[in-house]
Structure 1
Amino acid sequence: MVYDGKPSKGCGNCRSRKIRCDQARPACWECTRTNRECSGYRDELSLMFRDQSESVRRKARSSQSSSASTTGSLRRQGPARPGRTAFHRQNVVSSSMTSFSEGTEVYFGSDHENQFLTRQLRQSPRETHPNTGLSRQEAICFFLQSHAIPGTSLMTDSLTTFLMQSGGSSGQRAIQSSIVAVASAMLSRVQNVTSLRQTARQEYGSALKMVNEALANTDEAKTNQTLGAVVLLSLYEIVISRAPQGIESWTNHISGAAALLEYRGLGQLLTEAGVRLFLHLRYQIIISCLQRDVRVPGSLLETAKLDMIPQVKDALGNKLITIIGNLANLRADIHTTANSNPQEVLTAACAIEADLIAWLVTLPPDFTYSSHTLMPLDRAFERRCHGIRPLNNEYHLYPDIWAPSCWNHYRCARILVSEIILSHAHKLSNGSATSLSEDFRLHCKSLRSTIRRLGADICRSVPFHLGACNSEVLPETPILPPESYLGGLMLLWPLFIAGIIEGPKHPQRRWVIQCLKTIGHSWGLDQALAEMDLLTVDPGMFCSAERYGEAADVMSGLSGVLQFSIFHVPYYGLSALKEYQAIRASSA
């Protein structure tokens, strides 16, 4: 195999026209702009290496007699001059894979380097064949490269030592197979390679088997490797899950991880790696509970009181996720009618809103972001953002990749708690026994603009997440590289919330749908496409005048037929969406 250098990544049209291609999927910007049919992209790995085995064989046969005579001469004369040795070494190395038998001795000279090359040639295989698949090592390297952001690694204590090793414990083998499954699944969708999909399914099955073996061992079940494997299996479901069954599988993995956290106890917080893994998983569990309207396990919220996070940013995130956990519990209580008194719900929601505002006040100055406006003719920025132009040409710049993610968690929580306040304030105002103060009525009116402002801010964070603000724009900011998948993963939940605020025909809803489509295809994350499917049919947060009163946007013919909002319909409530589709079809 001969390395031919880095080939052009552009599509066939851009290569023939000798212009720069932005490599967007399913069609690049230049082909879209000129109404050309984009021919797609070549397999970069297969172009970088050419199989020259037959060519080497011909050269070896033609030079066999001269090589033998030269070898005999070298044996008699001893060390050769440097120039002749280097020339002869080049000829022998080029034909070593095909022309030498295992017993052949080759002498390049007396120096240690030549002796090493001689031993290597004796141990080389007779023939080589092109590798069309993805090795485990390549998959692991791809995963580590695309997820290598400080503070997000799940296995920091032993990541550099055990991932590439063969064998090992059940937990170690499980995490290896999980990484290969995730990487293969991502690449199979981005590059549209069917063989990688089969590899991903096989590795996923192997990882499940190894996890079960690890869970059968009391000590192995408590290791970071086993828990990390479960987290990665949930990530696999995010990559491949567009159907409801896959979403349920993601929920099952998260529930299993929650049970593991309970089983591991406080001992998991004795190491930095254990704390990092716990914090990452606790966030996933709480968001899952928030989406499904179920209560958060009490132990997860209790650990927030422990003094285990000395860093300022991590402590701020710990405080915020605790508030979000309280919000998830409130939504669960409302959903199960355990707390059906509007006054009590309103009091609890206002307390959570006050906690969120207090959290916002405690942010340090270096945590802030700046707002910018994109120039109309700046196409380079759009290419760096994978073909997505900022909504209304406005975007934010943040100090690091952690900051916009934390800000978006806050924005989503404010939107959800404001929705609860609006709906229950309207319900309470309709009662004859209780009346709302004028100040509170004014506050409720302002919540509508607050919700829309927060949704727009989520949209303004998208270019930074997707790597558009590179070093040319912000030299001192450690942002994500364009090939990283973390930006897309971090945006899934916030984009869904930002998209569900407005109605289906609103420009912001359409822009969010386009973002999710790009993330789904370019990043290979099918859950983004599942969210896109939901947003194409959801009527929006303020669809019911009966529910929101003056804050509602009345949709003609629908407001009295179907009470529909993020509060009523938990995340991925597909049965309700089908009901909405049926009503919409019958009324058309």
Structure 2
Amino acid sequence: MVYCGQPSRGCQMCRTRRIKCDETRPTCKQCAKSRRQCPGYKDEFDLMLRNETRATERRAQRANKKALWQLESAAITSSSSTNVKVSPAARSAAKCPFEQALKPAIPIPAEMRASCHFLSNFVLVPQMGSTRGFMAYLIPLIKSEDPDGQLHHAFNACALASLANTTTSSKNSNKPPDPKSGRGQGAVELHEKAFAEYSKALRATNIVLRDPEAYKSDAVLAAILLLAVFENITAQEAGAFAWGTHIGAAIQIAQARGRKQLRTKLGLQIFIAVRTQCIIHTLTTGKAPVMGADWWLQDAVSDPHASAAQRLSLKTSELRAEVTATMATLARTPDNVEIMRILMRRAQSLDKELASWMDNLPDMWHWKTICWQGPLSEGEYSEAEVFPGRVDIYNDFWIASVINVARTTRLYLGSIIVRCAAWICSPVDYRTTPEYAGVSRMCADTISDIIASIPYHLGWHIKRRHLFPNHALSGFACGEDDGAKGLGGYFLTWPLATVVSQDYATDNQRAYVKGRLRFIADGLGIKYGHILSQLQIRLPSMLIHRDGLLAQPFPMAHNFQKILTLATRGHGAGFGPGAAAAAAAAGYKVNPLQQREMMVKEEMEKRRAELIAKAIGPATGTTGESVKHITKDVLSI
């Protein structure tokens, strides 16, 4: 590598004018004096690493032209003395060695190509002080850490696996290519190297974790977070998915590091990264955050708007765990019903706070609708890039992810509200309650908002830059923003998994989301998308069913246990006449549809009793043949 001198730190305008810049921020005084608009300064990372590819090509092309000119001059001189002409074929043959100089003489190692690929797809570096990137802490840590340490091995594992997944030729499969087929052999080798690096990272991390002091370092925590990313990139089966194990370890280490980890810039960045994963982990598993929500927020504010949203998400995690525990232990009494109403009101209050947070975001955080997509034919949704309706864009990938996490939190809050309403009003159908009506509207709108953000995350807007001004607040650590990025798919996996499992999503929305999850797996190399696209759960209806099976909250007043028993014997959603009496005794209002079902069932029971009484009545006037017909009528009811 040739040393090209110390790079200039001046603004772009002063460098173009070839004058000395005083480097005053945010606007240099040279531009202010000349009344020019200062375009700003290059990022520190760009000053350290410069792309010399184009300059090298230009130098090679100049050398090629000069050598060809010398060759032609010599040929012309020779032909003038010997009367021999140089043929076009000879000129072409003479040109080939110089054209080959444009190609790299030494093949670039897979590790280097993989590192550049990972940096250009997953490491988001902020370009303004008001936004936060993603895994930007890796750049200084990798420079300072031992090349044979756990951090380097974890980084290499993620980079090689990501490159292997995007170069795999076998599509529509969450498995690596088969070496026996002869296809995708390069991807097979990359996969083998990736898992070898993953094993080294695990081994080195286990060794460091035995040290009572070394395991608290920034490098160890960053390596564990990378191991969790590796699980998302290479996930093949839900049973072998170890993401939760790595996140649990990261949470424990962050807890052991205490408040002093927030004193450094890198420590704060890594702590916030762990907190973000903690939110996803706790909401997914239904467990309360370790140490409580306040501990995760105290003195750990990088961006006030993002921290406010994360506070509400952590509070939602605590509330969800509390509601689940309460439903599993409380018996149904008037006092306990009031406790459940209080929990429901807390969920409604958190949802209002999240709605208010979205309404009061600054202009920099607001999304913009750039176009509307027309309707699609039946069967096109699973392969469509855009769902019918609006298409939104954002100023930054990180901003979009924070907003989608807030939207996903609202979906979880809606589930909590409906579960509480179902517990309170049972045995009356919870879908007749006003709480369900309000939640269904909110969740339908939230699902539409998340779906409208999908094209932006998956690079659809890159081909249509003329539709919006390009003023991104952050950029990737390497390469150019010229296509779909793996980070966009990585940010989308959890919100899309939540959408596809919602009761309020339509069949077309569900087909579209599953198709986008498959694209994230095949096109962007986040294989976890295949597992999520196969989810067959529905929320909150399945949770409500589970609450009734496990908690059994009706052992006392009004004989609710008997009501559930009657319902499981075939009385269906309308229950039986016993259910009607119990519901009336409890003071619950039954809707007209349920009333009609109850009346029909009562009439059927009355008819059945009359036929049975007739069959077993006095022998006079009742022949064996008539008893047969009566029995047949009873069985048909």
Same fold (TM > 0.5): yes
Superposition map of 1:50-61 within 5 A: none
Structure-1 separation of matches of 2:393 and 2:256: 41
Structure 1 residue 163 corresponds to structure 2 residue 163:
no
Q: Among 368, 377, 398, which residue is 1:370 paired with?
A: 368
* 1:178 equivalent in alignment to 2:154: yes
Larger radius of gyration: 2
SS state at 1:298 partner:
coil
CA contact (8 A) 2:497 2:532 kept: yes
CA distance in 2, matches of 1:489, 1:138: 21
Give the drift of 1:375. 5.2
| Aligned pair partner of 1:212 in 206, 209, 220 | 206
Q: By how many angstroms is 1:355 displaced?
A: 2.2
Q: Any gaps of 5 or more consecutive residues in structure 2?
A: 1-56, 58-93, 127-131, 169-186, 377-381, 476-480, 549-569, 574-637
For residues 245-301 of structure 1, give each alpha carbon's deviation from its aligned partner in whole angstroms, at most 9, with x where no partner exists: 332x111111111111111111111112211111111121232122122222025x2
Is the 1:228–1:277 Cα contact (8 Å) retained in structure 2? Answer: yes
Q: Which amino acid aligns with 1:188?
A: A
For residues 180-215 of structure 1, give each alpha carbon's deviation from its aligned partner in whole angstroms, at most 9, with x where no partner exists.
Answer: 111111221221110011001100001111112222
Q: Deviations over 1:34-58 (max 9, x none)?
A: xxxxxxxxxxxxxxx9xxxxxxxxx
What is the alpha-carbon distance in structure 2 between the residues aligned to residue 545 and residue 309 of structure 1? 37
2:394 to 387, 394, 398: 398
1:442 and 1:166 map into 2 onto residues whose CA distance is 58
Alignment of 1:261-410 (within 5 A): 261-298=254-291, 301-309=293-301, 311-330=303-322, 332-334=324-326, 337=329, 341=336, 343-362=338-357, 363-366=360-363, 367-374=365-372, 376=374, 388-410=384-406
Instruction: Using the aligned pairs only, state the percent identity.
Output: 20
Tell me what 1:191 maps to. 167
Classify the secondary structure of the residue corresponding to 2:485: coil
3-state DSSP class of the match of 2:460?
A: coil
Residue by residue over 1:2-36, the C-alpha shift from the partner in whole angstroms, topping out at 9 and shown as x without a partner, is xxxxxxxxxxxxxxxxxxxxxxxxxxxxxxxxxxx
SS in 1 for 2:110: coil
* 8 A contact 2:261–2:267 mirrored in 1: yes
**Which residue pairs with 1:258 in the alignment?**
251
Note if 1:459 corresponds to 2:451. Answer: yes
State the alpha-carbon separation in 2 of the partners of residues 369 and 558 from structure 1: 49
CA deviation profile, 1:383-407 (whole Å, cap 9, x unmatched): xxx9743211422222322332222
CA contact 1:426–1:548 (8 Å) conserved in 2 = no
Asked if 1 retains the 8 angstrom alpha-carbon contact of 2:305 and 2:361, the reply is no
**Which amino acid in 2 is paired with 1:426?**
A
Contact 1:182 1:235 in 2 (8 A): yes
Question: Which residue of the partner structure matches residue 202 of structure 1?
Answer: 196
Give the total of aligned pairs. 415
1:420 and 1:521 mapped to 2: Cα distance? 34
Q: How far, CA to CA, are the matches of 2:572 and 2:386 in structure 1?
A: 32
Offset at residue 544 of structure 1 (A): 9.7
| Whole-Å separation in 1 of the counterparts to 2:232 and 2:470 | 32
Deviations 1:401-434 (A, max 9, x none): 23322222222222222122223313312369xx
The CA distance in 2 between the partners of 1:343 and 1:292, in whole Å, is 26
C-alpha deviation, 1:336, in angstroms: 5.5
Amino acid at match of 1:530: I
Q: Is the 8 A contact 2:123 2:134 kept in 1?
A: yes
SS in 2 for 1:218: coil
- Residue identity in the other structure for 2:163: L
* Partners of 1:237 and 1:246 within 8 A in 2: no
- Checking the alignment, whether the CA contact within 8 Å between 1:502 and 1:508 is kept in structure 2 is no
Q: Distance in 2 between matches of 1:365 and 1:332?
A: 36
Q: Measure, in 2, the Cα distance between the counterparts of 1:527 and 1:311.
A: 29
**What's the C-alpha RMSD, in Å, of the aligned pairs?**
4.0
Give the match's secondary structure for 1:520.
Answer: helix
Q: What are the superposed Cα offsets for residues 430-480 of structure 1, whole Å, 9 maximum, x if unpaired?
A: 369xx99xxx94343222122112112111111111222233322234187
- Paired residue type of 1:154: M
TM-score with structure 2 length normalisation?
0.58
Which structure would you say has the larger RCO, counting Cα contacts within 8 Å and 6 or more residues apart? 2
Say if 2:145 and 2:219, in contact at 8 Å, map to a contact too: no
| Cα deviation 1:309-342 (Å, max 9, x = unaligned) | 2633333334333333324433552575479855
- Equivalent residue, structure 1, for 2:586: none
Is 1:138 matched up with 2:138? no
